[in-house]
Amino acid sequence: MTQETGTFADLGLHPSILAALTAVGYEEPSPIQAQAIPMILAGHDMIGQAQTGTGKTAAFALPILSRIDPAKREPQALILAPTRELALQVATAFETYSKQMPGVNVVAVYGGAPMGPQLKSLRMGAQIIVATPGRLVDHLSRNDQLLSTIRHLVLDEADEMLKLGFMDDLEVIFQAMPATRQSVLFSATLPHSIREIAEKHLREPKHVKIAAKTQTVSRIEQAHLMIHADQKINAVTRLLEVEDFDALIAFVRTKQATLDLAGALEAKGYKAAALNGDIAQNQRERVIESLKDGRLDIVVATDVAARGIDVPRITHVLNVDMPYDPESYVHRIGRTGRAGRDGRALLLVTPRERRMLQVIERVTGQKVGEVKLPNPQQVLDARIKKLTTSLTPLTTDAEASHGALLDRLIADIGCSPRALAAALLKKATGGQALDLASVEREQPLVPSVGAPRERRERDGDRPERSYDRGDRGEVRERRPMAAPSEGKARCRTALGARDGIAAKNLLGAILNEGGLQRDAIGRIQIRETFSLIELPEDGLDRLLGKLKDTRVAGKSLKLRRYRED
């Protein structure tokens, strides 16, 4: 199906939705939006095959919001996402698009967060639920009528949900909703398992397919730095000392992060400001104008808030937080390298984000080379260079205008010209460290991050299945595990092969309920009557507390630290 893109107004969206789109700088729909929105508005079930980053969130969020009745204080739309990160991203998008719709409330339901606030939002009648399957099933066990009023269902990244072992949970959720609901399924691929779901749970669905494209950013020099997550602000300030930028936009994920980083940069003397979804439109316009005319040099923004920014003097894009998908990365760094100018894009990468870096390189077709944070000597050289640059123009007529004053000060103080010049430099530089020893004593530089284990690189973090089956189907246990991986503790659950448990089931539940990234979980070993899982030693007790009510395939996980004695 082909269709001219047109405008959002041409698609039949609610006027309040159009007003919200204008406020965040959306100009025209993407191909997936142009095709999907009319179908969903018309009430059709739909299968959308599209990669993350093609605009698919808006493709289902905008028409669903247009069909929500704010007067009804009950759940009307359910969006299922495979991970807490995506659930939060989708919930934020719904909140942004519904800003002009009083009475519409959104609740994100995911593991790794207290149940109380989620229950409260549900009781108060949130119309839109964005949830991970595991945590939603937990809520259904408390209230089996929770989804009885759902009229719109979206399965976002359905293929990822199945990879994480959520099929059983999905079936529970399907049964808890009215059969008359509208169902929309988005998936990057359509394997047999996805087609089975569509045949069983969708009614004469329409199909939309958007081909994936390799996106190039040839005029932009790209580089990444490996850092630890808790040292990002230190890394940013170090980088900015040596980067020769005119104007820069720094991307972070949250509204609070925009305020924190902008405040830290202002304290260092930079002309910086935050830009997020809470910033009023007139203030947003002032920030952008200040960036254009040089009153500001740095803007710290979220993805949504940065939409529509076109400032030719932006020479650098700094990705402080990893984007949620590679297409967002391309959109971010496209803020530089405009008007025929070259640009530079820097990406901070934490150990758990290595895989996304690889995906970005594949989508862009370009290698994002690694650079190191500047050492003390480089920082010192950069500071002296900036000082030299700022003083050089002043020397032209300084002696004529201030020579007499200089002579008087030397006489009054009784010091040498060199001593006076040094004192004035000290005052002018505000006590900034300008010798190597002092720079070295400042906050330590971010330590390097070691290379990932080769096995992890090869198998894509696939958890290890530690059992095999004999000719008659019985489970034959392998030798016991070696010592736990570095930084990991071995934990045990009474769920095993006899319970129909696979490694992917445990992985999916722990990722979502525990709020972890994939590389935080080590080896998973499935035995006949139990299973062993390697979890982070740091904060293990807290993590086990989060997981105490977790269920897998309808059974209680009951994880505890494993004692081999």
What SS3 state is found at 536? strand
Among 99-108, 361-370, 447-456, the range with the most confident prediction by mean pLDDT is 99-108
346 pLDDT exceeds 90?
yes
Place 336 in a pLDDT band, splitting at 50, 70 and 90. confident
- C-alpha span between 325 and 446 (Å, rounded): 25
Confidence of residue 454 (pLDDT cuts 50, 70, 90): very low
Other beta carbons within 10 Å of 516: 21
pLDDT of residue 448: 45
Beta bridge partners of 367: none
pLDDT beyond 50 at 549: yes
Is pLDDT at 309 greater than 50 in this prediction? yes
Task: Round to whole Å and give the CA distance between 365 and 503.
Answer: 33
440-445 mean pLDDT: 63
Query: Could you write out the three-class secondary structure of 307-331?
Result: CCCCCCCEEEEEECCCCCCHHHHHH
* Residue 215, number of CB atoms within 10 A of its CB: 17
Dihedrals φ, ψ of 278, to 5°?
-85, -10
Rounded CA gap, 351 and 334, in Å? 25
Q: Is pLDDT of 252 > 60?
A: yes
In the prediction, which pLDDT does 530 show?
Answer: 85
Find out whether 150 and 179 touch, Cβ atoms under 8 Å: no
**Identity of the residue numbered 8:** F
Residues 6+ apart with CB under 8 A from 460: 355
Q: What is the mean pLDDT of the chain?
A: 83
Region 149-173 average pLDDT:
90
What is the C-alpha to C-alpha distance for residues 26 and 327, in angstroms, rounded to an integer? 16
Q: Are 67 and 101 in contact (CB under 8 A)?
A: no
Decide if pLDDT at 348 tops 90: yes
- pLDDT at residue 476 above 70? no
User: What are residue 219's phi and psi, to 5 degrees?
Assistant: -85, 5
Contact yes or no for 168/502 (Cβ under 8 A): no
Task: Say how far apart CA 546 and CA 111 lie, in whole Å.
Answer: 8
Q: Average the pLDDT over 42-52 and give the result.
A: 87
Structural domains in the chain, sorted by start: 8-209 (3.40.50.300), 220-373 (3.40.50.300), 378-390+402-441 (no CATH), 458-561 (3.30.70.330)
pLDDT at 191: 84
Percentage with pLDDT > 70 across the chain: 88
Q: What is the mean pLDDT of residues 183-211?
A: 89
Cβ proximity of 190 and 49 under 8 Å: yes
Whether 124 contacts 105, CB under 8 Å: yes
Q: Determine the average pLDDT of the residues in 550-558.
A: 82
- Per-residue model confidence (pLDDT) at position 564: 59
Q: Taking 70 as the threshold, does the pLDDT of residue 278 lie above it?
A: yes
Q: Provide the percentage of residues in the chain whose pLDDT is more than 90.
A: 31
What number is the average pLDDT over the span 23-43?
86
Q: What is the mean pLDDT of residues 30-45?
A: 92
What is the bridge-based pairing of β-strands 46-49 and 206-209? parallel
CA 563 to chain centre: 36
CB atoms within 10 A of CB 481: 17
Give residue 459's pLDDT. 33
Using N-to-C axis directions, what is the helix angle for 376-391 and 232-242, rounded to 10°?
A: 50
pLDDT of residue 113: 80
Cβ within 8 Å of residue 185, ≥6 positions away: 46, 47, 48, 154, 155, 158, 194, 197, 198, 202, 205
Whole-structure pTM value: 0.51
Q: How many CB atoms lie within 10 A of CB 195?
A: 12
Q: Evaluate if residue 58 carries a pLDDT over 70.
A: yes
Most confident of 43-57, 167-181, 497-511: 167-181
Report the range out of 20-24, 103-107, 329-333, 543-547 with the highest average pLDDT.
103-107
Alpha-carbon distance 528 to 526, whole Å? Answer: 7
Cα 179 to Cα 63, 138, 174, 510, 546: the distances in Å are 20, 21, 8, 30, 33
User: How confident is the model at residue 213, as a pLDDT?
Assistant: 57
pLDDT value at 80 more than 90: yes
Half-sphere exposure of 312 (CA within 13 A, CB side): 4
Reduced DSSP (H G I as helix, E B as strand, rest coil) percent helix, strand, coil of the chain, to 5:
45, 15, 40
pLDDT value of position 383: 82
Residues in CB range of 60: below 8 A, 6 or more apart: 36, 40, 48, 79, 154, 156, 184, 186
Cα separation, 319 vs 331, whole angstroms = 11
What are the residues facing 106 on neighbouring strands?
Answer: 128
Helix or strand run (H / E) with residue 468: strand 467-469
Residue 199 pLDDT exceeds 80: yes
Amino acid at 229: A
Helix (H) or strand (E) holding 186: strand 182-187
- The band of 339, judged by pLDDT with boundaries at 50, 70 and 90, is low
> Is a pLDDT exceeding 70 seen at residue 232?
yes
Quote the distance between the C-alpha of residue 145 and its chain's center: 33
pLDDT at site 329: 85
544 and 561 Cβ atoms separated by less than 8 Å: yes
Residue 323's pLDDT band (cuts 50, 70, 90): confident
Give the pLDDT band of residue 225 (cuts 50, 70, 90): very high
Quickly list H helices, 176-280: 192-201, 232-242, 255-267
**Residue 338 structure tokens:** 């405009």
CA 142 – CA 556 distance, rounded (Å): 15
Nearest to 279 by CA among 292, 267, 288, 270: 288
